[in-house]
């Protein structure tokens, strides 16, 4: 029987669902649970509501049962912009955030709530999925709905680092819906990888990196940016040695 419990939040999102499925598919010591808001969406994606808690990261009280007796927490929650209104012909759609799901409420306050309850319940390790671009306040993503999403994500990362809990912060480049396990991964810091021609990575590879952080001591107390080479540029050199990859990374933002 598994003797360690991990909670994955944001499991009805595309990356979060892959993370949870990967952990559950592995023969290991971890028992993985998911946290979601929608029971219906959870049933549609996973075909079951067993092994899930239902709550809201903006309400701390709903997080307590989910995090009780957890050894690790994986945060994959993120605010998602929506179309403001159907665009007129020839116009680009305008995006905004629902008033109750702005980046400040989800990516900052919601993540702080998760970190606070994790600390209260004795979680030993938090793995947080972030986004590259947080060093640039004028990044185009910050302008969507005036949400400043990357700024709020960066503040939450700093809060995690200062919490005293072991952390791994994985900031992904642009996410691709392509198969994982076929590319060489590159890690860096301070958004320097954004200077590459195509700073992207399959979300399956990001999910695998998140899962590997559970098992790899070298991932503890590290924050990193990650992108991938294209399949062509990788030339068959696929990243499998995650211990070596995490060993290249450093603590702090």
DSSP string, 82-151: EESSPPPTTPPPPEE--TTS-HIIIIIIIHHHHHHHHHHHT--EEEEEEETTTT-TT-HHHHGGG--HHH
Domain boundaries, the chain: 4-247
Average pLDDT over residues 73-81: 96
For 222-241, what is each residue's pLDDT tens digit? 999 999 999 888 888 999 99
| pTM > 0.75 | yes
H/E run at residue 42: helix 39-46
pLDDT recorded at residue 88: 66
- What tokens does 32 get? 């993985």
pLDDT recorded at residue 165: 98
For 32-44, what is each residue's pLDDT tens digit? 999 999 999 999 9
Establish whether 131 is a catalytic residue: yes
17, 79, 131, 228: the catalytic one is 131
Q: What is 4-247's CATH topology?
A: Rossmann fold (3.40.50)
69: buried, middle or exposed (CB in 10 Å: 19+, 13-18, 0-12)?
A: exposed
- The answer on pLDDT for 91 being more than 90 is no
């Amino acid at each position: 029987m598994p003797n360690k419990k991990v909670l994955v939040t944001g499991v009805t999102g595309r990356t979060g669902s892959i993370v949870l499925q990967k952990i559950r598919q592995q023969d290991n010591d971890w028992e993985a649970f998911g946290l979601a808001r929608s029971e219906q969406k959870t049933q549609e994606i996973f075909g079951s509501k067993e092994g899930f808690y239902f709550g809201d990261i903006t309400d701390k009280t709903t997080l307590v049962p989910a995090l009780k007796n957890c050894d690790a927490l994986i945060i994959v929650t993120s605010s998602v912009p929506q179309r403001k209104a159907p665009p007129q012909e020839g116009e680009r759609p305008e995006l905004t955030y629902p008033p109750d799901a702005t980046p400040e409420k989800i990516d900052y306050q919601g993540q702080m709530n998760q970190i606070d309850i994790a600390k209260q319940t004795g979680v030993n390790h938090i793995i947080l999925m972030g986004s590259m671009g947080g060093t640039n306040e004028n990044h185009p993503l910050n302008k969507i709905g005036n949400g400043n999403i990357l700024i709020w994500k960066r503040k939450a990362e700093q809060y995690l680092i200062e919490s005293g809990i072991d952390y791994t912060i994985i900031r992904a480049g642009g996410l691709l819906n392509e198969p994982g396990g076929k590319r060489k991964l590159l890690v860096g810091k301070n958004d320097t990888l954004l200077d590459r021609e195509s700073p992207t990575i399959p979300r399956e590879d990001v999910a695998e990196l998140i899962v590997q952080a559970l098992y790899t001591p070298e991932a503890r107390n590290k924050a990193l940016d990650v992108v991938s080479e294209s399949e062509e540029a990788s030339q068959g050199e696929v990243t499998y040695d995650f211990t070596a990859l995490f060993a290249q990374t450093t603590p702090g933002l």
